[in-house]
Amino acid sequence: MRATTLLTGASLVLASLAEAHWHSTPKQHLGIVKRAAVTCAANQYKYKSVCYDCSDSDGATCDRKGPLTCSTLFLRPWGGRACVAAADCGSKWFANTNTMTCERCADPNALTCSDDGKTALSCASRFLSNGACVTQSKCPSNSFANSRTRTCQQCEDADAVKCYPSGTALSCSTKYLLSGECLDSCPTGTYQDEVNHVCKQCEDDDAATCTADEALTCTNGFLYDGACVDACPSKYFGDTATNACVVCSNSGAIRCAATTIDTACGTNDFGETTYLDSSITTCVKASDCPSGTYPESFSSTCTPCPGSGAASCDATGVTLSCSTGFLSGTDCLSECPSGYHGDEEEHACKPCRDGVLTCDADGELSCTKTSKGVETYLDSAAAQCVESSACPEGTYPEDDSFTCTTCTGFGAATCDLTGKTTSCSIGYLWEGSCLESCGGTTYAATASTCAACADGTVTCDADKSLSCGTNAAGSATYLLFGDCLEAEACPSKTFADTTTSECSSCGDGALTCTSADAALSCGQNSEGVATFLASSACILAEACPTGTFANSDDATCTSCSAGALTCTSATVALTCEGGLYLTTAGACVTADNCPISTYPKSASAALRRRAISAISTCAACEDGATKCTATYSTACGSNKEGKQTYLLNGHCVLREICPDWSYADDTNFVCRRCSAIAPGSLTCDGKGALTCGTNSAGAQLYLTPNQNCVLPSSCPGSTYVDEASTTCQQCDDGTTSCTGSGNGKALACGRTSAGVSVFLTASNTCAASCSGAYFADDATSTCIACDDGETSCTGSGDGDALTCGLNSKGIETYLDPSNDCVVAEKCPSAYFADSESLKCVQCDAGEASCLFAGPGGATSCAKNDAGAQLYLDASAECVVAGDCPAATFVNDDDFTCTACADGALICTSSTDASLCGTNNTGNPTYLDDGLCVEVDKCAAGTWPDSELFVCRECDPLVEADAKTCTPTAALTCKTL
């Protein structure tokens, strides 16, 4: 820095030394000598009465820190005062040609602005529109937010209200939007939405033109009722000229190829069914179908009659008349069937007379049965079919040919319907023939007939057989009282004697026999006494051999049952062989086979020795016994009253008689001791103990649920000791160990009888689910407490919490992302403790910490998705550095938009302001070495410049020792 040239050389040296000393020595140590006031040039500043050139060559006025005004350039008040070209004022600033200073653009979002600062020329984060920086949504009509140029750029289409960044239209003003263009009219397949000014696709894909509700014209199909169809409905045809469905002119047509060309028919407007007459392609009534056709209902057509040669037919196609051949039923035949002849005039088959098989116009040719089943026969002479009785004399009705056939045979006068002779004019009639004389097995019964002897007769007269032989069946016959009988026909007490061919008498008493000495069955003898068959002889009852009895049922000496000496029937013995026993049913059995409920009782030996009749029998056991000996029972069953009995001390007693120390065993039917099934029991049933006593040591035993008697220490699982009833009582369902029944008595849990798992709660109860801050542990079947602070969980340990609440210290906890409950300050970075959900909820994107989600909740900031550091502003929002609000600075120590010191408008730190304004008390402040101070706080040796709001140094040329001053004079001095 150089001193002013107005000083003398010595003064210049002194001034230079003074300046160097000023800058290197603390002011309070300088001994400044007061001298006359000095006036500096326009581009100089005075310091300690010395004029120094402004550090900026363009500075018009300046102080020690830089220019205060500029000559040709513009004063830039930030980043160290300097005079700069207009282009160097920097982003968001403009060169004010009136004040020759760089001033902040009026629009805080402007990157550059007009010379007066009022109009934005470019924008930083918003979009330029009519001199203002606006958000994307505020870009005016017919423009879009161009992110590259940061402007609201005119849409390419002048009619566009909104458009994409590419320039294509999003909406239109007066025209119609389609594929990013505003069109004067909508193309084929679309219609004009007058409300939204868009071309909307026709709902019908084939529509060429349409409205919102229906098609108006079609491209490929046919228009019908506002829709394009591939095929027109009934009663319409597709007009290819107009691509529309046109109604058929004939009301009976359901399809047509043109207005007057019908192709299918139905019901007309009068309710009449119509049929297609293909000869005129018109639907006509049934009565109008042409000759040779009939109205066929299935196809609704006038269909040619199907029968060959048919002249007409009915509505089902059945032939009614013929043009060629003869009508037979529904067919036209070249020849009529049997029973008919052809009528050439009517072309029909006329029936022959009833009973005639074939006929012609001249007469009847063959015969058959009438409709009533009467057979007729052809009388050839009369050419007529007659009944059998009407055949002429000398003929008979022959059934094979149905003709009146001439009788044949020697001497035949008449014959029967089979042609067999029935009377003779010569000889004797025998078996349909005329014989010269009767002979063999016949005799002359009349002057003209032979009669046969009886069947089997060899010779006979008119009254009886004289000798017998073989009959017609080939069986030998036997003479009895003038008749020839087959062997089996010989009466009782006779037999067929092959020697004499007669029925001869059996022996005395025999009813049937094979000879006089060989009886087959017996009856009463000649004295009227019954006889019995034994060895082919009929004997008296008392003569029946030992071991048999006279059986009146079949008159035989029948064998007694095995082992019986005497008997009254085949099943009832009276005495038995030695070593066998007679049962009450009359059977002889071994001792081992005496029936149930009996025992073998032998006859007294003394009686046997004395030859007194004695019988060994199967004697009855006591009532109810099924097995026994002579002295006691060994097995029991039902007694005479049908009641079951049980074996007790060799006797069969009723159930209720079994003593208390036993039970009725329904398997073996005994009164079985309780000790056998349940040791230690006092009473019992078939399943086990009912009550218990003491063991051998005198200790009381307890009844278990499965009816055993055990010591209390041995009560099975799932039971507890009930001292009052001396029983092991069952725990509640699902409880595997307990001290009693009911709530609060469970010790361990498992599964219920229904298979449901239950868990031991803190209140010693088995429950199907755990409540509160507990979880069900399948391994131990217990409800285990969740970790501290957890109100529900799936397990203990990290990551198992479901919901959170107060912990053991009474502090609220919150569910973090790893499913643990933590106190609020332990919520992870970028999460906050939400008191409503009791969860650590993630902060908004870019926030390092927050108090809540949404606007105004941030407490510290991180980087955004693009990797740019964000800063916390006063509204608790995280913004990029360029969006920190006025009177704040980007603080990289804590990543906040930190407020400048009170009064500072622009600063880079809390102690480095570059522009000052009004402070919080409403007083203007002045820039003093990076601080904004009120007017009376400007540092000693400075004065408040109210134009630039800076504490400007007192001019040293005016007064180097000035403590306070004005621009032109000292007000107070520091030392003088």
Task: Please give the C-alpha separations between residue 6 and each of 13, 625, 763, in angstroms, as whole numbers.
Answer: 13, 163, 105
CA distance 238 to 318: 37
How would residue 605 be classed by pLDDT, with cut points 50, 70 and 90? low
Cα 852 to Cα 973: distance, rounded to the nearest angstrom:
58
* Lowest mean pLDDT segment, chosen from 347-356, 444-453, 507-516, 533-542: 444-453
In this predicted structure, the answer to whether residue 14 has a pLDDT above a threshold of 70 is no
Distance, CA of 916 to CA of 924 (rounded, Å): 8
Cα 719 to Cα 422: distance, rounded to the nearest angstrom: 113
Q: Please determine, for residue 10, whether its predicted confidence score (pLDDT) is greater than 50.
A: no
Q: What's residue 610's pLDDT?
A: 46
Question: From the CB of residue 342, how many other CB atoms can be counted at a distance below 10 Å?
Answer: 19
Tell whether the model's pLDDT for residue 890 goes beyond 80.
yes
Neighbours of 742 (CB within 10 A): 9
The DSSP call for residue 29 is: G
Give the 3-state secondary structure of residue 899. Answer: strand
| Per-residue confidence (pLDDT) for residue 749, from 0 to 100 | 95
Task: Supply angle C-alpha 904, 907, 912, rounded to 5.
Answer: 95
Whole-Å CA distances, 924 to 14, 606, 731: 39, 161, 89
Say how far apart CA 480 and CA 478 lie, in whole Å: 7
- The answer to the question of residue 136 being in a domain is yes
Report the first-to-last Cα separation within the chain, whole angstroms: 28
pLDDT attached to residue 59: 87
- Looking at residue 608, its pLDDT comes to 52
Asked if residue 821 has pLDDT above 80, the reply is yes
Most confident of 165-169, 358-362, 531-535: 531-535
pLDDT of residue 165: 67
Task: Read off the pLDDT of each residue in 60-71 and give the average, rounded to a whole number.
Answer: 85
Residue 761's pLDDT is 93
Q: Residue 90 burial (CB < 10 Å; 0-12/13-18/19+)?
A: middle
Q: Is 210 helix (H, G, I), strand (E, B) or coil?
A: strand
Q: Mean pLDDT across the stretch 91-116?
A: 86
Give percent of the chain with pLDDT exceeding 90: 36
Categorize the per-residue pLDDT at 604 as very low, low, confident or very high, splitting at 50, 70 and 90. low
**Measured between alpha carbons, how far is 220 from 448 in angstroms, rounded to an integer?**
109
What pLDDT score was predicted for residue 79? 66
Q: Hey, which residues does 430 pair with through a beta bridge? A: 433
How crowded is residue 696: how many other Cβ atoms within 10 Å of its Cβ?
A: 7
Domain assignment of residue 124, given as a range: 44-157
Tokens 């040296």 -> residue: 13
- Whether 628 has a pLDDT exceeding 90, the answer reads yes
Q: Is 668 exposed, middle or buried (0-12, 13-18, 19+ CB in 10 A)?
A: exposed
**H or E element at residue 748:** strand 746-749
Scanning 842-965, the segments in alpha helix (DSSP H) are: none
DSSP 291: T
141 lies in a domain?
yes
pLDDT in tens, 682-734: 999 888 999 999 998 999 999 999 999 999 999 998 999 999 999 999 999 99
Average pLDDT (416-427) is 78
Considering only 151-165, 473-487, 522-536, 855-869, which range has the smallest mean pLDDT? 151-165
Tell me the residue length of the chain: 976
Q: Which of 452, 460, 500 shows the shortest CA–CA distance to 476? A: 500
Q: Which residue has the tokens 């057979």?
A: 375
pTM above 0.75, yes or no: no
Number of domains in the chain: 1
Coil vs helix vs strand at 911: coil
Q: Where are the beta strands (DSSP E) in 761-800?
A: 766-767, 774-777, 782-785, 790-793
- Check: CB of residue 861 under 8 Å from CB of residue 848: yes
Q: Is residue 22 pLDDT above 70, yes or no?
A: no
Q: Based on the number of CB atoms within 10 Å of its own CB, is 866 exposed (0-12), middle (13-18) or buried (19 or more)? A: exposed
Q: Which residue type, as a one-letter code, is found at position 614?
A: A
Q: What is the pLDDT of residue 440?
A: 67
pLDDT (0 to 100) of residue 3: 35
Instruction: Determine contact, residues 966/955, Cβ cutoff 8 Å.
Output: no
- 119 belongs to a structural domain: yes
Q: Within a domain: residue 101?
A: yes
Question: Any residues with CB less than 8 A from the CB of 28 and at least 6 apart, and which?
Answer: none
Beta-bridge partners for 313 = 319
DSSP code of residue 908: S
As a whole number of angstroms, the distance between CA 673 and CA 660 comes to: 9
- CATH code for position 122: 2.10.220
3-state secondary structure of 24: helix
**Per-residue three-class SS string for 357-389:** EEEECCEEEEECECCCCCEEEEECCCCEEEEHH
Q: What's the chain's average pLDDT?
A: 85
Flag whether 80 is in a domain. yes
Q: Sign of the C-alpha dihedral, residues 145, 149, 153, 157?
A: negative
Main-chain dihedrals φ then ψ at residue 697, nearest 5 degrees: -90, 0
Residue 973: its pLDDT value, please? Answer: 85
Instruction: Let me know if 251 is exposed, middle or buried by CB neighbors in 10 A (0-12, 13-18, 19+).
Output: middle
> How many CB atoms neighbour CB 560 within 10 A?
24
pLDDT at 6 over 80: no
pLDDT digits (tens, 9 = 90+) for 321-341: 888 888 888 888 888 888 888
**175 in Cβ contact with 165 (< 8 Å):** no
Which residue, 56, 32, 35, is CA-closest to 45?
56
The band of 89, judged by pLDDT with boundaries at 50, 70 and 90, is confident
Q: What is the pLDDT of residues 790-807, one digit of tens each?
A: 999 999 889 999 999 999
In a domain, residue 940? The reply is no
Show Cβ contacts of residue 439 under 8 Å, excluding neighbours closer than 6 positions.
none
Tokens of 963: 């403590």
**Mean pLDDT score, 296-321:** 83
Q: What confidence tens digit (pLDDT) does each residue in 473-501 have?
A: 889 999 888 888 998 889 988 998 888 88
Query: Does residue 466 or residue 621 have the better pLDDT?
Result: 621
How confident is the model at residue 699, as a pLDDT? 93
DSSP 783-827: EEEPSTTEEEESSSSTT-EEEE-B-TTS-BEEE-TTS-EEEGGGS
Structure-token match 């506002």, residue found: 226
pLDDT band at 37; cut points 50, 70, 90: low
- Residue 4's pLDDT is 32
Q: Is 50 exceeded by the pLDDT of residue 613?
A: no
Place of tokens 């980043």: 79
Quick check: 51 pLDDT over 90? no
Residue with tokens 């009473």: 683
Calpha distance 363→384 (Å, rounded) = 7
What is d(CA 181, CA 166) in angstroms, rounded to the nearest whole number?
A: 12
Give the model's pLDDT for residue 691: 93
Q: Answer whether residue 55 is part of any domain.
A: yes
- Residue 253 belongs to some domain of the structure: no
Helix (H) or strand (E) holding 115, with range, is: none
Task: Tell me the mean pLDDT in the region 206-224.
Answer: 92
Quote the tokens at residue 527: 């004295």
pLDDT at res. 117: 87
